[in-house]
Amino acid sequence: MEIGMAEEIQKTTTYAEIMVANLEKIASALEELRATPLPRELIYLYVQKRTRLGKKDIEAVFNAIDELHQKVKKKE
């Protein structure tokens, strides 16, 4: 069964909206973490333990999420 172009665009928009909503949740959680009295190093150690990513990778992920979140805010 072939999906019509309008249905395909609607699905894409829906997936994009879900992705943006999830990104906003992640960015919000990161902001809350940074606002807590926990030292940043402790946050990295926790994420590193849970994900086994290196510190540079964790920093890159946090920075990328921050950057994308700022871009989304500008478009609103």
Q: How many CB atoms lie within 10 A of CB 27?
A: 18
- The pLDDT of residue 49 is 92
Q: Does residue 17 fall inside a structural domain?
A: no
Q: Does residue 67 fall inside a structural domain?
A: yes
The string of pLDDT tens digits covering residues 30-76 is 778 777 787 878 888 888 999 998 989 988 888 887 787 787 777 66
- Report whether 43 contacts 33 (CB < 8 A): yes
Q: Does residue 68 fall inside a structural domain?
A: yes
Q: How many CB atoms lie within 10 A of CB 68?
A: 15
The model's pTM is: 0.54
Q: Does residue 20 fall inside a structural domain?
A: no
Range of the structural domain that residue 41 is part of:
37-76
Q: How many CB atoms lie within 10 A of CB 7?
A: 10
Give how many domains the chain has, as a whole number: 1
Q: Does residue 13 fall inside a structural domain?
A: no
Q: Does residue 28 fall inside a structural domain?
A: no
